[in-house]
Amino acid sequence: MSSKLTAVTIGAGWAGEGHTKALEFAGVEVQAICARKLDVVQNVAKRLNVAEASVNWRETLERVKPNIVAIATPAALREPVVEVATDLGCHIYCDKPLATNADEAGRIYQLAKSANVKHAYAATHRYDSGVTWLNELLMKDTIGTLRDIVVTTRGRRSPSLIMPWSWMQTLDAGGGALNNGLPHMLGILQAITGGRLLRSMGEARVLTNRAPVIPDLHDYRDWLKKGGELTREDAAHLEWRPVDADNIFSALFQFRVNHVDVSATILFGAGQPVSTDINGIRLYGDKGTLATEGTFFLNKILLHNNNSEEARELKVPQRLKNQLPQIGDFVQNRWCALARDFLADIKGQDHQPYLTFRDGWYYQLAIESIRKGHGWLELPGDDQ
């Protein structure tokens, strides 16, 4: 008998592959992968050397009874999986967003909490070594008391190119910029500040109402490998489907950081910034400012001291870079970092804090407040 913890992965796309590799990196034996299309799941299981490929996730879970279930389906399909997994006492490693709406996310969180199982929420860009470095710099009082945060992440994609249709462009499936970009950003800001999210508000927009369908497109990476470009002329002969998911948003948040309320502004999505504009994070303190180039991958960190006109680069120490697993691209490495902390927690070992379904529920509450645009939403307290 194997002494390893065991897992089953539900979903055979990019995240399903990534979760499988991450759990195996952490020492877990992934015994099966489940998906809807037999040929797809068989190919993925074969490529990853997983013993079983299944199109019946419920039967597989009830028969295998794994220690861990990795959920990498579109968000609309997750609650039934969580119901079965928690009934079986399985720990759960789930991609973001947690659900398609806040009520559903709340039910998922309560299921895991009531079952007393461990639950990891995979908004993993917070594992960037630059994020850890920013947290250390704030703790060293580098810019004094943090007062304000501004985050800008704008795309530079040509307006003549369009994205093909997928579940990511429908709200009922859990698509949209808010569902898929904001959890990463909130996770990053919490990791940098060590703070707690208090309230949120904002507005979101849908910039296009339909998109073309590329036949048999299962994994976006396959499309990107072919150039990732689709013009309206190329798509004229394709089927077009409705799009209702937001692709741009502006949001305001307040965090409680060391007993101080800190405001954060996030501008996310479309727009064609000029060449001098730099996407990044700005942390404003009463003694100076920390500024990054990049948001989900922090390329450079600059310190602007109030007493000096010249900015100084503060390079990320190699010791922090060495802490991140290195088995693939940066997305895969961050999935591995979460799996490492998650497994250590399951085993009762020391570990770094990681995001859980409680965070996923909070983030979904924030997302709904932004979509509704009705003003500040007060988020639940620590006792929830």
CA 261 to chain CA centroid, Å, is 25
Give the torsion through C-alpha atoms of 252, 256, 259, 261, to 10 deg: 0
Domain regions of the chain by residue span: 6-125+328-356, 128-320
pLDDT in tens, the chain (384 residues): 357 999 999 999 999 999 999 999 999 999 999 999 999 999 999 999 999 999 999 999 999 999 999 999 999 999 999 999 999 999 999 999 999 999 999 999 999 999 999 999 999 999 999 999 999 999 999 999 999 999 998 765 555 567 788 888 899 989 999 999 999 999 999 999 999 999 999 999 998 888 888 877 766 666 666 666 777 787 888 889 999 999 899 999 999 999 999 999 999 976 544 445 678 999 999 999 999 999 999 989 999 987 777 889 999 999 999 999 999 999 999 999 999 999 999 999 999 999 999 999 999 999 999 999 888 888 888 776
308's enclosing H/E stretch is none
Length in residues, the chain: 384
pTM listed for this prediction: 0.92
So what's the pLDDT on residue 159? 56
Query: Are the beta carbons of 203 and 250 closer than 8 angstroms?
Result: yes
CATH number of this structure's domain 6-125+328-356: 3.40.50.720
| Nearest CA-CA partner of 316 in 336, 331, 297, 338 | 297
Q: List, for residues 47-81, the tens digit of each pLDDT value.
A: 999 999 999 999 999 999 999 999 999 999 999 99
Residue 194 sits at the vertex; the CA angle it makes with 266 and 358, to the nearest 5 degrees, is 80
Query: Are the beta carbons of 245 and 180 closer than 8 angstroms?
Result: no
So what's the pLDDT on residue 29? 98
- Tell me how far apart the alpha carbons of residues 269 and 276 are, in angstroms, rounded to a whole number: 18
Query: Are the beta carbons of 375 and 116 closer than 8 angstroms?
Result: no
So what's the pLDDT on residue 148? 97
Helix (H, G, I), strand (E, B) or coil at 45: helix
Residue 336 sits at the vertex; the CA angle it makes with 332 and 340, to the nearest 5 degrees, is 175
Residue 317 is classified by DSSP as P
User: 231 forms bridges with which residues in the sheet?
Assistant: 161
So what's the pLDDT on residue 207? 85
6-125+328-356 and 128-320 agree in CATH topology: no
Residue 237 is classified by DSSP as T
So what's the pLDDT on residue 379? 87
| Nearest CA-CA partner of 253 in 157, 115, 148, 172 | 148
| Nearest CA-CA partner of 252 in 123, 99, 122, 148 | 148
So what's the pLDDT on residue 316? 97
So what's the pLDDT on residue 163? 79
Question: Does CATH number 3.30.360.10 belong to domain 128-320?
Answer: yes
So what's the pLDDT on residue 230? 76
Give the number of other CB atoms < 10 A from CB of residue 7: 27
So what's the pLDDT on residue 194? 96
Side-chain half-sphere CA neighbours of 170 within 13 A: 12
Number of H helices, E strands in the chain: 12, 17
